[in-house]
């Protein structure tokens, strides 16, 4: 086995599909096998830290990258990587476009704010980028539009986590499905699930056949067989 650790997205990767929040039994079973084999595991999500920590507790994972790389929890400590934003101003500006509604999760978010598109997601993303300017990154995960300080992403969180683990990111398998996963897929040994966005597939080293949770189970097989984290 060449991989020292695995970092995975949740929504669309550990779930049954990209259209549900229901966790895949196949993914959870594969995750347990991986942990029992001694591989370190972390989840990397666009969700807020409280939500991510709740999920991690029930699936037996202790390390978390939350808010698209803005917050990392590892070895019992929480680190905030992103710079402060003017939350109320950002929310007001985003809502003024009339193309999004605010996510209820924003009550638990500090740096990465989420919005649900009321029109085509690409149209809404373009409008928010224009309204908010170059200070912010605006991306769509397939579940929500995310606004956060520019220069921070899941790759930022992964690099920080690798440093804490004292592991080269090239020896960390990374599994994801969407545009927001692309930075960490490029930095680690990226594996895209079969129904991933084109941006995620292009960033990954390999794309497995199975969708979402089934694809994650395939990715775990690659790790356990020693095929991942190799040239």
Q: Report domain extents, the chain.
A: 5-81+152-225, 87-149
Q: How far apart are the first and last CA of the chain?
A: 13
Kindly compute the dihedral angle of the four CA atoms of residues 69, 26, 170, 4, in this order, to the nearest 10 degrees: 110
H or E element: which one contains 137?
strand 136-140
- Can 9 be counted among the known catalytic residues? yes
pLDDT value of position 84: 86
Please name the residues in contact with 104: beta carbons below 8 A apart, sequence gap of 6 or more.
none
Q: Which residues of 150-161 are buried (b: 16+ CB within 10 A; e: fewer)?
A: eebbbbbbbbbb
Cα–Cα–Cα angle for 95, 99, 103, rounded to 5 degrees: 60
Asked if the model's pLDDT at residue 40 lies above 80, the reply is yes
Fold of 5-81+152-225: Rossmann fold (3.40.50)
pLDDT value of position 77: 97
Work out the number of other CB atoms within 10 angstroms of the CB of residue 209.
10
Contact call for residues 9 and 196 (beta carbons, < 8 A): no
Q: Average pLDDT of the chain?
A: 96
Nearest to 28 by CA among 1, 10, 40: 10
pLDDT value of position 230: 84
pLDDT value of position 111: 95
Q: How confident is the model at residue 17 (pLDDT cuts 50, 70, 90)?
A: very high
Nearest to 161 by CA among 43, 55, 53: 43
Asked if the model's pLDDT at residue 121 lies above 90, the reply is yes
Nearest to 115 by CA among 85, 84, 139: 139
Q: Which of 9, 11, 112, 197 is labelled catalytic?
A: 9
* Structure confidence by residue, pLDDT tens digits, 138-158: 999 888 999 999 999 999 999
Fold of 87-149: Hypothetical Protein Ta0175; Chain: A, domain 2 (3.90.1070)
Nearest to 100 by CA among 64, 140, 70: 140
| Tokens, residue 169 | 């990111």
Asked if the model's pLDDT at residue 231 lies above 90, the reply is no
Please name the residues in contact with 47: beta carbons below 8 A apart, sequence gap of 6 or more.
10, 11, 55, 66, 67, 105
């Amino acid at each position: 086995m060449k991989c020292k650790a695995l970092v995975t997205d949740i929504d669309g990767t550990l779930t049954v599909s990209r259209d549900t929040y229901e966790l895949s039994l196949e993914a959870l079973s594969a995750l347990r096998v991986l942990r029992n084999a001694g591989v370190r595991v972390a989840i990397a999500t666009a969700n807020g830290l409280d939500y991510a920590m709740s999920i991690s507790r029930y699936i037996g994972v202790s390390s978390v990258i939350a808010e698209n790389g803005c917050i990392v929890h590892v070895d019992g400590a929480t680190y905030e990587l992103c710079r402060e934003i003017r939350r109320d101003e950002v929310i007001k500006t985003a809502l003024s476009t009339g193309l999004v509604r605010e996510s209820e999760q924003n009550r638990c978010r500090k740096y990465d704010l989420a919005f649900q598109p009321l029109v085509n997601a690409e149209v809404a993303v373009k409008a928010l980028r224009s309204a908010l300017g170059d200070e912010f990154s605006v991306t769509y995960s397939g579940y929500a539009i995310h606004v956060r300080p520019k220069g921070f992403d899941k790759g930022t969180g992964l690099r920080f986590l690798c440093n804490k683990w004292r592991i080269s990111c090239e020896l960390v398998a990374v599994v994801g499905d969407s545009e927001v996963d692309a930075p960490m897929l490029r930095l680690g040994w990226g594996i895209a699930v079969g129904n991933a966005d084109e941006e995620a597939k292009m960033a990954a080293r390999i794309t497995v056949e199975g969708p979402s949770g089934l694809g994650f189970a395939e990715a775990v097989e690659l790790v356990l067989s020693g095929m991942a984290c190799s040239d």
